[in-house]
Chain A
Amino acid sequence: MAAQSDAIVETQNITKKFGEFVAVDSVSLSIQPGEILGLLGPNGAGKTTLISMLCTTLMPSSGSASINGFDIAKRPADVRKSIGIVFQDQSLDDRLTGRENLELHATLYGLDAATAAERIGRVLDLVELKDKADSLVRTYSGGMKRRLEIGRGLVHYPKVLFLDEPTLGLDPQTREHIWEYIKELAARERITILMTTHYMEEAESLCDRIAIIDRGKIIALGTPDELKAMLGGETVVLKVKDSDEPAVQDKIAAAFPHAKCFDGRMVLSVKSAERELRGIFEDAKKAGIEIEEASMRRPTLNDVFLKLTGREIRDEKAGIAELMRAHMQRHGR
């Protein structure tokens, strides 16, 4: 019990299997009050499954978790009172007005009419939907719906707010707008936020700590700076001529054993790109590797992911697989 005392969200080896497929694999996480923790990973990494278990809509296959001191398996009602959720897919009733959606939510969470009216007013202010509050949700734009959902997740003053891909499918302008809201919220209301995303910029700009998740496992956890420091500095990306050919690949492996190769490019982690670039070119020349283009980058979380897994976070193939899976889930339940 002592170990749980200060964490508001705590998971211990939580696991979810769907038949043979392990969607979440023995995840142990601990989130402090007021913290914004991001789950960053490619589509299909298990982020939504993890959130679904914490929201008590999916039962873990093994392991346990507690939120606000309540066990998710034994005290689901208390867990539900402690949390707010913004789902990945839309979950509003579009035949009701924005205000009616919030009122329904407030009632389901046991608020009396006076408290509900006061908080709904505040929330509508916060998400700037006061003018549209009495229009049917079906007349809202995508960004307005998203803002309403975020506002709805706050009406009952949750201790923990879950945001599952809060800006998925939104245009860049709306996305930044919503980031502003989330930052402001976390600061003003002191809510603990657990969010999933596969946008690296989103994770970097919002999260205090980031858990990188891949194939159901957490493979790295730390502040954005800590994670980037894992790379040991900056990144040099070199486009190599004939990189598909095994002979060239062998040369690369011999001359640059630490390089990661993908998509015809060779990626090197260096302390300082400016100082080491010349040496790299010389080594390449000696090894007979022809470099067509070179660029250097400060490390991003995508580089961290790439280094840890040899893949990119936004893997198009995974994207299609995930779309199919999402489609099957939607139709399979």
Chain B
Amino acid sequence: MMVGDMANIRNELMAVHAVWLREFKRFYRDKGSLLGSIARPLMWFLIIGGGIGATTKLAGVSVDYFTFIAPGIIGMTVLFTSLFQGVSVIWDREFGFLKEMLVAPVSRTSIVIGKALGGATASLFQSAIIIGVAYAIGVHFSLSALLALLPLIIIISVGFTSMGLTIASLMDTMEGFNVIMNFIVMPMFLLSGALFPISATSGIMATAVYVNPMTYGVEALRYAAIGVSSTSPVTSMSVVLAFTAAMAVIATVAFNRRR
């Protein structure tokens, strides 16, 4: 019995690896969207950072604007990339490949984990590019900051990939995709503290900012990267961990449904 269990665990780990490898191959082979996913955060970073940073001095923030938004832009790319990776299950379903995975003798939890790690890998890759560009324009992160960012990016990414998987399992067609982009992803990004200090917000907007899980992801990233944060690091980390855990469980449940 023990031997059988060990063999099963090994099979499940192999399946996680296989699903991850597939995600990774698809990610780097799709040059068009790879380029787009690099260009989008860089445009936000360089254009918004350059434009707003040149005209504004943020009240109550000790660092310059580029330094302030660099972690926010990392948060943005993690959000977009991970959610896309999760939602890509809709394409798998549309083109039939999902069936191949669903009838395989592996638990669907392994498929979810493989997908989530695929999202995390893509997020890390893109974050590295942003960090490199930031370095080139004079925003330097310390080595300890980079080491803190690494696990944080992975955790946040797993949360958002799981969220994407959950959305995908509830959504019937690809038509709903733009709705998600416009009504979930963009507000989550804009209403986080990625581009401005959340302490400056008030009223309904402040409420929206503080119920947005992305806010805590951005604050945690900013604290890890430059030691600046509008929320306490403990609060940020707790929300991030709770969000990721909850999303991972929900995605697994949603994926395990058998009709």
Contacts and interface: CB of A to CB of B under 8 A. Distances in A.
A108 B95 contact: no
Contact of B30 (A85, A95, A333): A95
A89 interface: yes
A81 to B, nearest CB: 4
Interface string A88-119: 01111111100010011101111000000000
Interface string B14-40: 110110011001100110000000000
Contact of A80 (B21, B29, B105, B172): B105
B60 interface: no
Interface stretch (B96-104, B151-159, B221-229): B96-104
B22 A93 contact: yes
Contacts of A331: 172-173
A253 interface: no
A110 B172 contact: no
Given A87-B96, A91-B97, A94-B95, A107 B105 contact: no
A56 interface: yes
Nearest to B111: A108
Contacts of A152: 100
Contacts of B17: 107
A55 B15 CA distance: 19
Query: Which residue of B17, B21, B99 has the most chain A CB atoms within 10 A of its CB atom?
Result: B99
Contacts of A91: 96-97, 99-100
Nearest to A111: B14
B132 to A, nearest CB: 27
Contacts of B95: 90, 93-94
A105 B30 CA distance: 22
A332 interface: yes
B128 to A, nearest CB: 23
Nearest to B102: A57
A167 B103 CA distance: 21
B96 A104 contact: no
Interface in B159-178: 172-173
Contact of B104 (A87, A95, A109): A109
A110 B15 CA distance: 8
B103 A95 contact: no
B22 A96 contact: yes
Interface in B98-140: 99-107
A230 interface: no
A324 interface: no
B11 interface: yes
A110 B25 CA distance: 21
A152 B99 CA distance: 13
A104 B172 contact: no
Nearest to B7: A110
Nearest to A156: B105
B176 to A, nearest CB: 11
A59 interface: yes
A87 B99 contact: yes
A56 B96 CA distance: 17
20 contacts: A56-B103, A57-B102, A58-B258, A59-B259, A87-B96, A87-B99, A87-B100, A89-B99, A91-B99, A92-B96, A93-B92, A95-B30, A105-B104, A107-B17, A108-B15, A110-B11, A152-B100, A330-B94, A333-B93, A333-B172
Interface of B: 7, 11, 14-15, 17-18, 21-22, 25-26, 29-30, 92-97, 99-107, 172-173, 258-259
Interface of A: 55-59, 77-78, 80-81, 83, 85, 87, 89-96, 100, 103-105, 107-110, 152, 330-333
Q: 5 tightest A-B contacts by CB?
A: A80-B105, A108-B104, A107-B18, A91-B96, A110-B11
